[in-house]
Structure 1
């Protein structure tokens, strides 16, 4: 046997859920370019595509939207559990605990209706904990808002602007799924044992909680805040590179060309730049950073990744930094559930091996 650290380059499943081709910059959900879905479809439509294999008709979209909205109200016992979690506990740990307590049947195989019960509840989990920590009242659940709009409404108490809803919708669609990443793999491993949906999802949330997987947008925002204004971009970035430090939001383990998710979010940022100066700062920073990276690190193929424009979007719509990774989890739940359903349909327990490197005891 040959050890492949991190399983890099090793395929562990066949799936038609998505294609992530980092060499050629191709990103597909079930036969559709994701960049096109992000600017032309609603989040509910894309989730339907991931779970059921096709974009919904108008009637199917209405039914699916109603299914998600039926689970927006948190059960009292889940609220009580959240209330008992110490205040210093991070939001991802709260989310992991609350998801595990949702009243979702553990029947096998898992079904889309179970997945909808979790996805429908996650915005309320995040918002409920957020308001408890801020000492503010939790807004009353609304049934007539879209999933994206309702999430922003729960956090702020008012319906979002069209621009903010559109920006966050694009982000949620682009981050809903991304192949066999660490958290998706964790969910599929648990599913392969014929464990229940909630166990698989809590494993996935635990993996996403790690800073090497889900924490990059906060670091990008810190960089943009430090730059402060468009006239300071080049001097700040050049000083950083001269000091041998990284520019956050550039380069990706998978993509060796332009990240198609970043391309789509750039389009959204360009359209909204006149409405929010934060988008203009991000666009100018990206332009100058790419030029400087080619100057200082020629041939390294360091392109803009999705976290760069994710930071611009999440800041512009008014999310506090501590909600960046939970919001990522909200979107990625769609992809996790798609893979859990896919694994269950073609199940074989995932059981890799390891090479023993320790001593062999003497023969007795």
Structure 2
């Protein structure tokens, strides 16, 4: 397992990765059987050696809303993450101990350095300071901001607490750093509605010379407004200047397991994580190119049994080790939520009642 965690994020070819990933997932499955009562009750048969990652048992994401799932004693809980649930829904609760939190932060930094470089850049955050409320409990938005803040310096929040533009803060940031490389981060809907669209409505533009925008979150609200990834990227450049835009796919239930879109627009699996696609109903793995439900696997979750999760998202695998960007590993696309699935608040959700924070 250590070999993969220490490797460069997109450097391990499929044959070596499958062997090492399988061994690590086997160890985690046994560990969680022995240390999480609820997981043991669900999978109480002795774990036979896996011959393929498709044999690793999976939990469905909604289970994290229904019961506490942790493989550590209460006194070792270092931080609790919660999903950003819509009004009236129960959020997922993810329990981290100090070691798991450190591992996830370390690997997250390693992945993002692939896109940002190793130098800590001035960081403009398309959110409000109030999103981080507590040091030991975070929503998905707060956790995302905290996790990526390690990669930046001179952290500046572009929005006020009421989600209006903090023009003074943005101007000051631009005047000081606009000519050099900067790092921008925000959740997709927040960046679009309260950033790009708000700037356009107020007739404001900035000409950043060398910016990278990393964003994540569900696209449903934007798709309802007929906003494609191409539109998002081009309009962002219209309002902010020379900005390289990278989306990533991830979820609080498997925090740290992020899949970043390359220059070709493809989401990539890093060395320590993988994806499978399963047919709804019979849940068999489907061939490359076929659409189904995404299953995400990761070597990071040890404080809770989140190493193999069936998501509520549809997608398909596009290839492996042969993307034009040159990075190794599987690459895939997400095609939206499954139908007839409980409405689930994404980390890009904001309601003026405050329910999205």
Q: Which has the higher contact order (CA 8 A, sep 6+)?
A: 1
Q: Same fold (TM over 0.5)?
A: no
Q: Which structure has the larger Rg?
A: 1
More strand by share: 2
The TM-score, its normalising length taken from structure 2, stands at: 0.29
The TM-score, its normalising length taken from structure 1, stands at: 0.28
